[in-house]
Amino acid sequence: MHRQARCGTIRAGTEANVREIILDTETTGLDPTGGDRVVEIGAVEVLNAIPTGNVYHVYINPERDMPDEAFRVHGLSSEFLADKQVFEQIANEFAAFVGTDNVIAHNASFDVAFLNAELGRCGLPPIPQHQVIDTLTIARRKHAGGSNSLDALCARYGIDTSRRTKHGALLDAELLAEVYLELTGGRQAAFVLGGSGEERRGGGVVVTMRARPVPLPARLSPAEIAAHEAFIATFAEPLWQTLGVIDSNTAIAAE
């Protein structure tokens, strides 16, 4: 099992990086108030909607039998779960992994209701509603009228689901992380222009500067170039230099 706890908004320099937790659960049934329990948690950490590789995954002994209908969904038997820890034993590390960051789930009310019931049994505070983002709600707004199941969204966005023969919390959380990236336009956080050349990085942006086979002749006179340089010098910290995307000489050559 994977357990790497980290919580809170991460800051790099003066830029705030938004940490969120995308998760899924598997359970013994549909009713957390009627005796059904959580048997698996899979959670993926994302930073600015991009997965970091930091995950939390655990199987849990539900301290009860596994109904046949639930077993057919996720394939987790009572025998397999018998030697796993009970929720109380993993509650604190799970809460620490989530921290105060947003929790993202598909049909989030289901997962959060189960997790809050389990946390409540352990005397721990629930995940507050303001901390929850439901990708199903986002998908219904974006793709009204279409199917918005996880499988349907993966098909819509060309996400490979060939490993998904049964429901599994970690795999489903990983797939949902890709879906969330598409739903929120997060792929624009890192993009590449061109196919070869020098890469310049800054602020999460990757731009490939392609060299011309034959440089264009200068269209500016020496006096115009000097005037441009004098004008640029009046900027305390030009945005393009801060991002490392383009320097002043390149800017002049491009004019």
**Residue-wise DSSP of 125-172:** PPPPGGGEEEHHHHHHHHSTTS--SHHHHHHHHT---TT-SS--HHHH
Domain presence at residue 193 = no
Asked whether residue 165 falls in the same domain as residue 207, the answer is no
Domain encompassing residue 223: 198-254
The owner of tokens 């279409």 is 146
Active-site residue, from 57, 74, 106, 167: 167
The backbone region for 110, taken as left when phi is positive above 0, alpha when psi lies in -120 to 50, beta otherwise, is alpha
- Statement to judge: residues 69 and 176 lie in one domain: yes
Could you tell me if 221 and 170 lie in one domain?
A: no
Determine whether 186 is exposed, middle or buried from the number of CB atoms within 10 Å of its CB (0-12, 13-18, 19+).
middle
Closest CA to 151 of 160, 141, 143, 140: 160
What pLDDT is stored for residue 224 in this prediction? 81
pLDDT cut 90: percent of the chain above it: 61
Same domain assignment for residues 210 and 178: no
For residue 50, list its beta bridge partners. Answer: 47
130 annotated active-site: no
For residues 168 and 211, state if they share a domain.
no
3: CB partners within 8 A, 6+ apart: 56, 57, 58, 93, 97
Tell me: pLDDT of 197 over 50.
Answer: no
Residue 153 has pLDDT above 90, yes or no: yes
Which residues on adjacent β-strands are paired with residue 43?
23, 56
Inter-CA distances, 174 with 10, 22, 226, 230, Å: 21, 8, 53, 51
One domain, residues 62 and 157: yes
Helix ranges, the chain (H): 68-74, 78-81, 87-98, 108-121, 135-142, 150-157, 169-183, 222-232, 239-243, 248-254
Last residue of a domain, one of 161, 188, 215: 188
Residues 110 and 228 in one domain: no
Q: Are residues 13 and 113 in the same domain?
A: yes
* Residues 223 and 119 both lie in one domain: no
Whether 152 and 221 map to the same domain: the answer is no
Read off φ and ψ for residue 200, nearest 5 degrees. -120, 135
pLDDT at 8 over 90: no
Segment among 3-12, 208-217, 230-239 with least mean pLDDT: 3-12
**Pairwise pLDDT comparison (116 vs 4), residue with the higher score:** 116
Mean pLDDT, the chain, whole residue set? 82
How many structural domains comprise the chain? 2
